[in-house]
């Protein structure tokens, strides 16, 4: 794509795709919270709405393409950055200048992607290929498995770590002034990360023990 020839353009596209995915994650969390309250009827109604609404049906392939682009661009930028680093730079104490989350964005992202494949296999594919009417029971059944619940919680903890750096990095790539906005973005990014990690994990743990 000629529009993405420059490194700046690639980083901006990466940032926009990431922020779009953050929006989707919060919508997904809001729907999942209906599992707990108001409960089964609200969750099943939400799933039915998502499955039949024309706009949502159009957005599903868009979401898939954005997610695929975000993964591709993340790997591309990471490999490009690695190729540009000198031996001297690699040997320096990176912990002084950067956080663990920022240095491991590629790995947390890939591990979340691995979980997404599992989630597709356990929920999305049955949802699309089988005549399932009780979506609440399908989800709750998954959370009764200790292995699945553990993987689920770990995946969203990793996603939270990923977002703790990714959120502020996205806005920096979009040109926000570093001096004025860096600290507020760090705080907001950490809040976003905690909401996502704790929100999704709490739902899984709640149904595992109840």
124, 50 contact by CB (below 8 A): no
Give 10-residue mean pLDDT values along the chain (210 residues): 77 96 97 96 92 91 95 92 62 60 94 95 86 89 96 98 96 88 93 98 97
63, 24 contact by CB (below 8 A): yes
For helices 40-52 and 7-33, the axis angle rounded to 10 degrees is 140
- What pLDDT, on a 0 to 100 scale, did the predictor assign at position 62? 95
Q: Which two tokens stand for residue 52?
A: 């039949």
- What pLDDT, on a 0 to 100 scale, did the predictor assign at position 178? 78
- What pLDDT, on a 0 to 100 scale, did the predictor assign at position 4? 75
- What pLDDT, on a 0 to 100 scale, did the predictor assign at position 97? 55
- What's the gap between Cα 49 and its chain centre? 22
**Residues contacting residue 194 through CB under 8 Å, at least 6 positions apart:** 160
Q: What b-and-e string marks burial along 79-104, b requiring 16 or more CB atoms within 10 Å of the CB?
A: eeeeeeeeeeeeeeeeeeeeeebeeb
- What pLDDT, on a 0 to 100 scale, did the predictor assign at position 29? 98
Measured CA to CA, the distance from residue 53 to residue 47 in angstroms comes to 10
Q: Which residue has the tokens 């920022």?
A: 102
Residue 70 burial by CB count (10 A; 0-12/13-18/19+): exposed, middle or buried? buried
């Amino acid at each position: 794509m000629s529009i993405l020839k420059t490194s700046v353009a690639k980083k901006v596209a990466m940032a926009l795709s990431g922020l779009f995915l953050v929006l989707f994650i919060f919508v997904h969390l809001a729907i999942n919270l209906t599992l707990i309250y108001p409960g089964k009827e609200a969750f099943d109604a939400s799933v039915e709405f998502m499955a039949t609404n024309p706009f949502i049906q159009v957005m599903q392939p868009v979401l898939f393409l954005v997610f695929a682009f975000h993964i591709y661009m993340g790997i591309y930028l990471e490999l490009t950055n690695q190729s540009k680093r000198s031996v001297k730079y690699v040997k320096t104490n990176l912990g002084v200048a950067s956080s663990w989350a920022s240095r491991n964005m590629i790995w947390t992202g890939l591990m979340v992607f691995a979980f997404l494949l599992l989630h597709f296999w356990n929920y999305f594919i049955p949802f699309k290929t089988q005549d399932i009417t009780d979506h609440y029971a399908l989800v709750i059944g998954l959370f009764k498995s200790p292995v699945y619940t553990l993987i689920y919680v770990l995946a969203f903890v990793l996603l939270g770590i990923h977002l703790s750096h990714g959120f502020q990095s996205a806005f920096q790539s979009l040109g926000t002034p570093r001096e004025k906005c860096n600290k507020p973005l760090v705080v907001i990014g950490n809040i976003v990360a905690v909401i996502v990690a704790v929100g999704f994990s709490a739902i899984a743990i709640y149904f595992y023990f109840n």
